[in-house]
Structure 1
Amino acid sequence: MSEKSAVRVRFCPSPTGSPHVGLARTALFNWAFARHHGGTFVFRIEDTDAARDSQESYETLLEVMDWLGFSWDEGPEIGGPHAPYRQSERFDVYADVARRLLEAGRAYRCYCSQEELDERNERARKEARTPGYDGHCRELRAEQVAAYEAEGRRPVVRLRMPDRAIAFDDLVRGEITFQPEHVPDYVLVRGNGHPLYTLVNPVDDALMEITHVLRGEDLLSSTPRQIALYEALGEIGIGDGTPPRFGHLPYVMGQGNKKLSKRDPESNLLGYRDRGFLPEGLLNYLALLGWAIAEDRDIFSMDEMVAAFDIARVNPNPARFDLKKAEAINATHLRALSVDELAERMVPYLQRAGILGEDVTEEQRRLLGAAAPLVQERMGTLGEAVEMVGFLLVDDRAFTRDPADTAKLLATDDGRAVVQAAHDALAALSTWDTASIEEALRTALIDGLGLKPRNAFGPVRVAVTGRRVSPPLFESLELLGRESSLARLEDAGRA
């Protein structure tokens, strides 16, 4: 079997809170790696923390994955040969593995209380020794176990770590070595029998035949522990004892060179969807947080990324999230859409704002299609369609204007004089098209009133579109139609 057909990666988020951009970047690199190698992208849910996990967050994860276009080959909703893919449904598997590790002597029960652990760690620090579990319960005698049991202590299960250095070749960072004093025996199962991340992820990786683990740099310190566990699992017949290849992706940094956290506003994935980022635009930017398709190129499609993706070219240094650059890249992708596709993608945002109903009429679609090329170069996100083209689609009785723009340009004697002159000039037109509208307004406002174009057309723009920023004025008036245009100008004259 070739390496390309053998590649199996997994993306295993926890359903807690709102998905963040760092999560999406990890999913993207795994997905691109799998697709580049013709491999399998496994989507697995890490929901073993009942206190923090929620069904709502789980459903949001599925929704976001679908919005971003990450089709998975195995996982929730579609199943696969290693189902189930929610860890909360696999507790029997983990309990069986823990039992077998104990029977094989690769794990042991530890009865130390938290107070005892803290005390010994404090002593180690005072004696300039490396703190960490000291193996106190590794070789307990039967009478010691009986005494602890009589006290009612509930033991945790710890993995017996090898007394040697653990080294591995990180796909992003190169050769990394951990000395044994820095990787003490660690807990696999809590005293209440609940399995921890340190057990469940390597077990699932082994059972699901994962070949490559691409994950955040914050999990680097857990890698030697997991390598030791893979070896132990091989000894009890789970996998062959060979760990997957690891690649630890760089931190995504926010403002002030601090790691971007879930609490940072710019980290919220749902916020980008709600603002109207294109999935392909956001993913293009996220790909640049640690990787580049070429030194002199920032814009590319996901197909191009898949074709070019090389994990060895991921930069291990932290990447800074730049919202302005993300917006600029998204705007470039938006401008590359066809007019018809842009019009169609604007619909959900106009519906959410109450401008369009559930059933969009043919006339509304015609207006959207005609307006799309007028606003495409002016928009950065789909959400801006509400302000850019909403004025064309609302009933005159529901039409509103921006209060600040109204106060500045309309609620003055000069503003009212401009819109009155514009109304009179347009009312006299026998032909309602862009050229006729432009000629009539220029004659009445620039030649007739002696105004500069900015002063002439600003009040008219606010009067009919509601804002100082809008699609081109003359084309907007043509699309809006004679009746609505004149009605709004008449109304603005009374502002």
Structure 2
Amino acid sequence: MSTDVRVRFAPSPTGPLHIGGLRTALFNYLFAKKHNGTFILRIEDTDQNRYVEGAENYIVDALNWCEIPFDEGPGKEGNYGPYRQSERKHMYSAYAEELVDKGAAYYAFDTTKELAQARTTAEAKKETFIYNHNNRLTFTNSLTLKADEVQKRILQGDAYTIRFKPELKTLDMFDEIRKGIEIDTSLLDDKVLFKSDGMPTYHLANVVDDHLMKISHVIRGEEWLPSMALHVLLYESFDWERPKFAHLPLILKPTGKGKLSKRDGDKMGFSVFPLEWKDPTSGEISTGFKEDGFLPEAMVNILAFLGWNPGSDQEIFSVQELITAFSLEKVNSSGAKYDPEKAKWFQQQWFVHQDNAVAGAAFAKALQEKNISYGSEDYVSIVTGMVKERAVFTEDLFKLAGFFFEAPKTYDEKNAKKAWNEATNEIMSNVIKVIKATEDDSAAGLSAAIKGWITSEDMSFGKVMMPLRIALVGSLMGPDVFEIASMVGKNETVNRIETAMQKLG
């Protein structure tokens, strides 16, 4: 095997990519880039019965949205393609036959009915049915049939599978995250490697492809840990050098009990998919992190901390910083609990970190969709910079700053009653005079003029500032009231004060 680092993300196109799969892709990407290696996308579509239209494109779109693109894969052909297993099916039978010739596998002619009967018999005895060294000689296979009978059955087109015959021994393995693992291979079943429909099972295709693509490290989810012994035995049977294995921890429900699922997200109101997915069969639409307003940088940060710890207090990492800091030694073996509130915290940190122009462009688009005039993008950018520290998503900007674009239609009842009394209209009339007489309409100019007038009248600031904010905003929220007045302009400020006087006075 080459000393070059080559890793692969090998999803099955059976539906939308769960964030658990995306986390696996991210860790493979980070490991590859840390070691100047190659990140490969391989589509494992040997199970054509479960293939879902659009799922492959969804996988690619999700990787691109998170800005973790693959180096080799469908559409980016390298020297080890094709990168869809369905396009490689012609090569697997030879490897299955090689194992038969070596005595490491055998032909099995058992029918579905015979296997069902064996399973029923075992269940009647309250036993778990397993096809292995204990009973393989009681079935119809090339271990119990004569060689000429086996050939006759194959030539006449009888359906058969090729099953693996594990060597009975204590198998020592090593996982980069879980360290030493010891397995008694007598506990393994004789897995089907090649099916009667002429397609390999996942196990054979996976090992053959990893070998042919010169994969140096297999970094995958914990759910594949039980398959590690079979895969190591296959490498040994082929006399191939095995790659290094690393099995990532499960992503758990927010309660910490059980694997995170779409049902958990539906129940608690969060997404478990990176992008929106429309089921081509049912038409059901599942929302995605992107459509929920998450930034790709936040998504990557969220995923990185699901099972990995940098060993420092730093939590906000760019992709480049993650590449520098990442190592398999810092990946935990125990499950990683998904925390929706922590996910929002990462999003808020990255939202604030955005350039005002970038966040403002997204806000301008949202305003456009609401048919709200916003003047110029520069204006929107300035507004965004004034309020974004209190926002988590783009949609929050309108709640925080909608009054910069539209006069309030309603007023916060509780605060309006507190701010407005019988004398307020007269006070606001005088404020209007001060504003109109002020030549400097900057925030500083308006502040100096109005505060100067308040002081000269020996008046309490609250009697002016509270109703002024109510008039401009509709509530007591928002940035500096003079910044608001300067941004919307003197004429609009006066109009809003007059409207409030009519409605509240």
Q: Partners of 1:330 and 1:437 in 2: how far apart?
A: 36
CA-to-aligned-CA distance 1:52-89 (integer Å, 9 cap, x gap):
33342222222221121113221123221112212232
**1:84 match: secondary structure:** coil
Post-superposition offset of 1:374: 0.9
Partner secondary structure for residue 247 of structure 2? strand
User: Given the superposition, is the C-alpha separation of residues 146 and 292 from structure 1 closer, same or farther in structure 2, using an over 3 Å criterion?
Assistant: closer
Aligned-partner Cα distance in 1 for 2:185–2:421: 79
> What is residue 251 of structure 2 aligned with on the other side?
252
Matched residues in 2 for 1:131 and 1:52: separation?
25
Segment of structure 1 superposing worse, 204-213 or 409-418: 409-418
User: Tell me, what secondary structure is at the counterpart of 1:158?
Assistant: strand
- What is residue 143 of structure 2 aligned with on the other side? 139
Give the Cα separation in 2 of the matches to 1:472 and 1:155. Answer: 78
Pair 1:460-2:465 in alignment: no
Deviation at residue 447 of structure 1 after TM alignment: 8.1
2:383 matches 1:371: yes
| Corresponding residue to 1:476 among 478, 484, 491 | 484
* CA distance 1:352–1:382, shift in 2 (3 Å): closer
Q: Within 5 Å, which residues of 2 pair with 1:83-482?
A: 83-121=81-119, 123-124=121-122, 131-134=129-132, 135=136, 136=139, 137-142=141-146, 145=150, 154-232=159-237, 234=238, 241-257=240-256, 258-265=258-265, 266=270, 267-270=272-275, 271-337=288-354, 341-348=355-362, 350-351=364-365, 354-355=368-369, 364-392=376-404, 396=406, 414=420, 425-426=431-432, 429=435, 430=438, 431-438=440-447, 451=462, 456=467, 459-460=470-471, 462-463=473-474, 470-482=478-490
Are the equivalent residues in 2 in contact too, given 1:168–1:175 (CA < 8 A)? Answer: yes
CA distance in 2, matches of 1:16, 1:480: 52
Q: Note the residue ranges of structure 2 that are not aligned, 5 or more in a row.
A: 276-287
TM-score (norm 2): 0.79
One-letter identity of the residue aligned with 2:230: R
Q: Deviations over 1:393-449 (max 9, x none)?
A: x5x5xx786x8x7566669995999799758734751343323545677778x9879
Query: Which one-letter code corresponds to 1:367 in the other structure?
Result: Y
The one-letter code sitting in structure 2 at the alignment partner of 1:53 is Y
Q: How many residues align?
A: 472
The residue identity in structure 2 corresponding to 1:376 is K
**Contact in 1 for aligned 2:18/2:273 (Cα 8 Å):** yes
Give me the whole-angstrom Cα distance separating, in 2, the residues matched to 1:49 and 1:353. 46
Contact 1:7 1:39 in 2 (8 A): yes
Shift of 1:172: 0.4
Residue deviations 1:326-361 (CA, integer Å, cap 9, x gap): 222332233334xxx23214424542563489xx99
Q: Which residue of 2 aligns with 1:238?
A: none
Distance 1:158 1:272, change over 3 A: same
CA separation of 1:356 and 1:139: change in aligned 2, threshold 3 A = same
Give the Cα–Cα distance (whole angstroms) in 1 for the partners of residues 74 and 477 of structure 2. Answer: 45
Task: State the SS of the aligned residue for 1:181.
Answer: helix
Say if 1:59 and 1:476 are closer, same or farther in 2 by CA, change over 3 A: farther
With over 3 angstroms needed to count, the CA separation of the structure-2 counterparts of 1:217 and 1:475, relative to structure 1, is: same
Provide the secondary structure at the position in 1 that maps to 2:79.
coil
How far apart are residue 189 of structure 1 and its match?
2.7
Question: What is the CA–CA distance in structure 2 between the aligned matches of 1:86 and 1:411, rounded to whole Å?
Answer: 68
What CA RMSD, in Å, does the superposition of the two structures yield over aligned residues?
A: 3.9
Cα distance in 2, alignment partners of residues 383 and 184 from structure 1: 54
Greater mean deviation of Cα atoms: 113-122 or 132-141: 113-122
CA distance in 1, matches of 2:164, 2:467: 78
Cα pair 1:334 1:342 within 8 Å, conserved: no
Q: Which moved more, 1:37-46 or 1:9-18?
A: 9-18
Structure 1: distance between partners of 2:335 and 2:425: 55
Are 2:88 and 1:74 equivalent residues in the alignment?
Answer: no
